[in-house]
Amino acid sequence: MGATEDRTPRAARSGGWLWLALLALVAALLLSVACGKFPLDVGQIVASLFARLTGSASPLPETAEAVIWNVRLPRVVAGVIVGAALGVAGAAFQGMFRNPLVSPDILGVSAGCGLGASLAILVGASVGTVAAVAFAGGLVAVSLVTWVAAGAREHEPVLVMVLAGVAVSALLGAGISMVKLLADPTVQLPAITFWLLGGLNAVTWADLRYAAPIALVALLPMWLWRWRINLLTLPDDEAAALGTHVAQLRLLVVTAATLMTAAAVAMSGIVGWVGLVVPHVARLVVGPEFGRLLPMSLLCGAVFVVLADTLARTVAPIELPLSVLTSMVGVPVFLWLLGRRRQPG
C-alpha cells in the first residue's frame, strides 16, 4: 500500500521537480554569463571555467576572461544569493505567520536596510560602508519589532509581530523620505533612489565575501530544523502541546530569515516580490512540507533573480532597475495564482 511506504508519491514527485529546478538554475547561470553587450557562447564559458579549475591557461582572449570573471560572474553569483535568500526567507515567514501573503519584509528588514543605506549615502560613505550600515539597519529594525512584540504579552504573538512590523516599517519609511528631502538632489538623491529600486550592477567579489558567508550561515539552522519548522504553521497551543518550544523556534526562524534577507538587501537594494511569489510557486509544485519547500524556494528564487537581472541589463539600452522587472513578472504571476483554483494533491 502506497501510504505505508517510506517515500510517498508526492515526495518522489518532488524529488523530480527539485532536479528539474537545479537544471534550470544551471541553464540560467550559463545564459546569464553568456548574454550581454559582449556576447559569449557556452563553449567559451565552460572552457574558461575548466581552465580555472584545472589551473591551466585559458584559451580565451583576455577581454573575454575579464568579462566572465570580473563583470558577469560576481553579478550572477549575487543574483543566486539574493534570490535564494529572499525565496527561503519568504517561505519560512509565510509558514511561521500562517499567511501566504507575507513577504520577508514583513518585520521591517527592508525598510531598516533602506534607512541605513540612505543615511550612509547622505553622509557620503563608501559603497562598502553603505552596505554594512544597510545590513545593520535591517537587523536593528527587526530587533526593535521583536522586542516590542515580546512586550505585548496579552495578544496573539504572531499577530502582534505583524502589526509591530507594519508600524515600524512605516516609521522607517518616513525616515527614508526625510533623508531624501535632506539629500543633495544632483548626486545623493539619485543614488538613494537607485539603491531603493534595487540592482546588482555595482556588485563586486568584495561584496560577495561578506554576503555569501552570512547567507550560508543563516541557511544552516533553517536546513537543520527544517522538519520542525513545519510545526510553526499550527496554532501555538497545538504546536506547544506536541512538545515544541514555539517561542524559541520562532526566534530561530526570525533570526535566520532576517540575517539572510539583510545580507541580500544590503548587497542588492530592495528587490520586490521575489520573497512573496517564489514560495507560492515552489509550494505549488512540491507542497508546503518545509524540507521540500526550502530547497525548491531556494532554487526558484535563484533562477528568478538571475533571469530577471539578465533581462535588466540586456533588454534596454540603459540598465533597468531589478525591482521594476521582478515586480513586472512577479505581480502578474501572483495575480494568476490568486485567480487559480486550488489544485488537489
Partner 1 sequence: MSSLLRAEGLAFGYPGRRVGTDLDLDIAQGEVLCLLGPNGCGKSTLFKTLLGLIPALKGRALLAGRALGDYTRREIAHLVAYVPQAQTGTFAYTVEDIVVMGRAARVGLLAAPSRSDRRMASEALRRLGIQHLASRPYTEVSGGERQLALIARALAQEASLLVMDEPTASLDFGNQVRVLNEISSLRQQGISAFLSTHQPDHALRVGDRFALMKSGRLLACGRAPEVMTPQRLAQLYDVSPAEFAKAPHP
For partner 1, the binding residues (CB under 8 A) are 1-4, 6, 8-10, 95, 98-100, 224-228, 230-231, 233-235, 237-238, 240-245, 283, 287-289, 291, 342, 344-345
The nearest distance, CB 239 to partner 1, in angstroms, is 8
Grid cell in block for residue 286: 512540491
The nearest distance, CB 343 to partner 1, in angstroms, is 9
| Region of 8 on the Ramachandran plot (φ > 0 left; ψ -120 to 50 alpha; else beta) | beta
What is the torsional sign of CA 134, 136, 140, 146?
Answer: positive
The nearest distance, CB 277 to partner 1, in angstroms, is 16
Contact 88, 260 (CB under 8 A): yes
Helix 205-224 with 290-314: angle, nearest 10 deg: 160
The nearest distance, CB 345 to partner 1, in angstroms, is 7
Instruction: Using the minimum distance from each CB to partner 1, give the nearer residue, 52 or 245.
Output: 245
Instruction: Using the minimum distance from each CB to partner 1, give the nearer residue, 62 or 237.
Output: 237
Q: Alpha-carbon distance 276 to 343, whole Å? A: 19
Phi and psi, residue 239, nearest 5°: -60, -40
Q: Identify which of 68, 75, 83 has the alpha carbon closest to the alpha carbon of residue 24.
A: 83
Instruction: Using the minimum distance from each CB to partner 1, give the nearer residue, 195 or 225.
Output: 225
Q: Alpha-carbon distance 95 to 230, whole Å? A: 7
The nearest distance, CB 120 to partner 1, in angstroms, is 38
| CB burial of residue 323 (10 Å; 0-12, 13-18, 19+) | buried
Instruction: Using the minimum distance from each CB to partner 1, give the nearer residue, 182 or 241.
Output: 241
Instruction: Using the minimum distance from each CB to partner 1, give the nearer residue, 231 or 266.
Output: 231
The nearest distance, CB 167 to partner 1, in angstroms, is 23
Instruction: Using the minimum distance from each CB to partner 1, give the nearer residue, 36 or 100.
Output: 100
3-state SS, residue 102: coil
